[in-house]
Structures are given as structure tokens and as C-alpha cells.
């Protein structure tokens, strides 16, 4: 890892002050690290969502780089057009620089409505990095369930009622779906492990071809935690193995952070309000723990040595 904390503190380029993200929102961490590790000019393509809404309220913009927002489900397709233009213009000597295209979308725009667009762009092999800031629900529209929402979580479309206790289905494994495209680089990261995240963003920017980083990015109103506990909640997701940090590079899976003494998933659940209704239901908590354990074992098997 080339970037240490001192160096990071000196890299001041980030979103300009005045953006309207909530206190305790995770995605500004992702963007700041992205800018910190970028060695080439960036062009950012953003899906509709919280990030777009809080950073581009006309006539203001907090983006220090060229930025394009088109629609909700098409960030990857739009990015492939920008990348194609970069190639064609450079080929004809009409562009001297070589900007890297970065698409950023939330889990709604990536796991759900944008999955086809993402899959198409990955398969076509465009040279771009896709960053999913994954807060596990449609937060911009007011906390509706997505396919990234974990089993049991309370959202406004998976409410807690007499016959249904939060979301009945487990989340889908998008990182593995992306890796199955055979892309050069796919990774899972968390805002709590900033050096790991920075290294993954750096790798994703460096590879030629499609790269994907799925970043767990807690949402204060959606997950319901005190704003100052943002990083702590994300860290519990990793330490409980609920959100493993790993990467798939040229088909090889490697776990990039092994929790020394994994905490029970209950600790992660207890840190947030969206699972509050489950905490008295031992069986429901045990079921989530089993899901975590099964998926962790599966990942370890894939990674071979586990490291």
C-alpha cells in the first residue's frame, strides 16, 4: 500500500464543502479516498441517488472533476459511452489526456435497476471502474428494500408487521455476480477499513478493463445509528464477517482482511435500529448467524488458504 495516513491527510482534494449529505453518511469517505488515490484525471458518471442529489443542486456542484449524471439505471452504459469517446478521440489525435472513467452508483442503481447495464458494460470490457456505494436499500427515496437489503432488515417496503418481520429474503451476492463476468478486478470493501478500501480503489483504477468495488457504506437514517458511530457500525459488519473484505483478481479470490476474533453478528445487528425487532427473537438472530457462517466458509473455500 503506497498511501499512509499522513499522506492521505495532506491530499486535500475531496468534495467541496457545502454538500448536503446527512451527518454520519458513508459515501463522502469513498469519494475522498477515490480522489486521494487517483493518478489520472477522472471523469465521474453518477447514477441517480443520494450522492447525485446532495452534490449537484443547481447552481452549485461539489465535484472538483468532470461529472455526468444521466439516469438511475444507466451509469455503466453512460460510462461506456464516455470511455468509447475517450478511445475514439485519442485515436484521432483529438485528445491528449487519458482520463479514467469512474461510474458510481448506490445499491439500488447497481444491484437492481442498473444490473443489466452494468453486466453489459462489464462484458464489453470497457476500461472503467464501477464503484457501488452500498447502503443496502433505496435510501434516497426513503429507505425501501433492494436486493442488497439483508434478511430481517426493516425498510419502508419490508416493514415489521404482525405476519412479516422485515425483509424475508437474504441479500444477493453482487460481487460474485460481477466476478463471474471474468473481469480483471472485483472487490468488496468497507468504509471502516480505509487503507484496504484505498488500495482496492487504486487497483481498480490501475487495471485496464472493467473493475468493480462494492463498498459497504452505512446510511444513518436507513440503518438508524447515532451519526458519530458510522465507522464503528461498518467495522462491526466486517469484524462479524457479515461483510467480508476480499478481492477477485484475474479469477483468484483473496480475503484481504481476516477478523482475528470474529464478533457475533448480534453485535452488528444491535448497533442499528433496522434490526431492533429481531433482537428478542433468538432463532431469527441465529438464522442470520448461520447465513453469515455458511457464506464465510464458502468464501474461505474459494480463497483456498483463507488469506
Partner 1 sequence: MTAPRRMGLTGNEAVALAWKQLRPHVVAAYPITPATQIVERFSEYVAQGEVDTEFVPAESEHSALSACVGAAAAGARVLTATASQGLALMHEVLYIASGLRLPIVMNVANRALSAPINIHGDHSDTMGSRDAGWVQIYARNVQDAYDRTLLAVWVAERARLPVMVCLDGFTLTHSLEPVEVYPDEAVREFVGEAPPDGYTLLGGEPITVGPLALPDSYMEFRRALAAAMERVPRVLEEGVRAFRQQFGRKLPALVEARGTEDADVALVIMGSYADSAEQAALRGRVRGQRAGLVRVVTFRPFPAAALRETLAGARDVVVLERADTLSGLGGPLGVEVRAALYGLPQAPRVTDVIFGLGGRELRDAELDALLQGELPGGVVYLGVEGAHVLEPA
Contacts with partner 1, residue ranges (CB under 8 A): 41, 43, 45, 52-53, 56-59, 61, 63-71, 73-74, 76-89, 91-92, 94-95, 97, 99, 116-117, 119-121, 123-124
C-alpha cell at 113: 435497476
- Min dist CB 68 to partner 1, Å, is 5
Residue 78's SS3 state is helix
Q: What is the rounded distance in angstroms from the CA atom of residue 82 to the CA atom of residue 101?
A: 7
- Min dist CB 72 to partner 1, Å, is 9
The set of residues, in sequence order, having a beta carbon less than 8 Å from that of 187 and lying 6+ positions away, is: 175, 200, 203, 204, 212, 213, 214, 246, 247, 248, 256
Nearer to partner 1, 30 or 113 (CB): 113
Q: Which one-letter DSSP state was computed for residue 26? A: S
- Min dist CB 24 to partner 1, Å, is 22
- Min dist CB 172 to partner 1, Å, is 19
Residue 73 near residue 176 (C-beta atoms within 8 A): no
Nearer to partner 1, 81 or 182 (CB): 81
Residue 175 near residue 247 (C-beta atoms within 8 A): no
Nearer to partner 1, 119 or 144 (CB): 119
Count Cα neighbours of 154 within 13 Å in the Cβ-side half-sphere. 16
Bridge partners of 255, per DSSP, are: 246
Closest by Cα among 278, 288, 210 to 243: 288
Nearer to partner 1, 47 or 237 (CB): 47
- Min dist CB 71 to partner 1, Å, is 6
Nearer to partner 1, 51 or 245 (CB): 51
Amino acid at each position: 500500500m503506497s498511501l499512509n495516513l499522513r499522506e492521505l491527510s495532506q491530499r486535500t482534494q475531496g468534495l467541496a464543502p457545502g454538500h448536503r449529505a446527512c451527518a454520519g453518511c458513508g459515501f463522502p469517505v469513498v469519494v475522498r479516498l477515490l480522489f486521494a488515490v487517483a493518478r489520472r484525471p477522472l471523469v465521474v458518471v453518477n447514477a441517480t441517488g443520494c450522492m447525485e442529489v446532495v452534490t449537484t443542486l443547481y447552481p452549485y456542484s461539489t465535484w472538483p472533476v468532470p461529472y455526468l449524471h444521466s439516469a438511475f439505471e444507466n451509469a455503466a452504459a453512460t460510462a461506456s459511452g464516455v470511455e468509447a469517446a475517450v478511445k475514439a478521440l485519442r485515436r484521432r489525435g483529438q485528445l491528449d489526456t487519458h482520463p479514467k472513467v469512474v461510474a458510481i452508483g448506490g445499491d439500488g442503481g447497481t444491484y437492481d435497476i442498473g444490473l443489466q447495464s452494468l453486466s453489459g458494460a462489464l462484458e464489453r470490457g470497457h476500461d472503467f471502474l464501477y464503484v457501488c456505494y452500498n447502503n443496502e436499500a433505496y435510501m434516497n427515496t426513503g429507505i425501501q428494500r433492494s436486493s442488497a437489503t439483508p434478511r430481517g432488515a426493516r425498510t419502508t417496503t419490508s416493514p415489521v408487521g404482525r405476519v412479516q418481520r422485515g425483509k424475508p429474503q437474504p441479500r444477493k451476492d453482487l460481487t460474485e455476480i460481477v466476478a463471474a463476468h471474468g473481469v480483471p478486478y472485483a472487490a468488496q470493501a468497507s468504509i471502516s477499513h480505509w487503507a484496504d478500501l484505498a488500495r482496492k480503489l487504486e487497483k481498480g483504477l490501475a487495471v485496464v478493463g472493467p473493475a468493480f468495488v462494492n463498498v459497504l457504506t452505512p446510511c444513518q437514517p436507513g440503518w438508524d445509528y447515532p451519526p458519530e458511530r458510522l465507522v464503528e457500525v461498518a467495522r462491526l459488519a466486517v469484524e462479524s464477517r457479515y461483510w467480508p473484505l476480499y478481492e477477485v483478481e484475474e479469477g483468484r479470490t483473496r480475503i484481504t482482511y481476516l477478523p482475528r476474533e470474529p464478533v457475533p453478528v448480534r453485535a452488528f445487528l444491535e448497533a442499528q435500529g433496522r434490526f431492533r425487532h429481531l433482537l428478542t427473537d433468538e432463532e431469527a438472530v441465529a438464522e442470520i448467524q448461520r447465513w453469515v457462517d455458511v457464506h464465510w466458509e464458502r468464501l474461505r473455500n474459494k480463497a483456498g488458504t483463507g488469506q
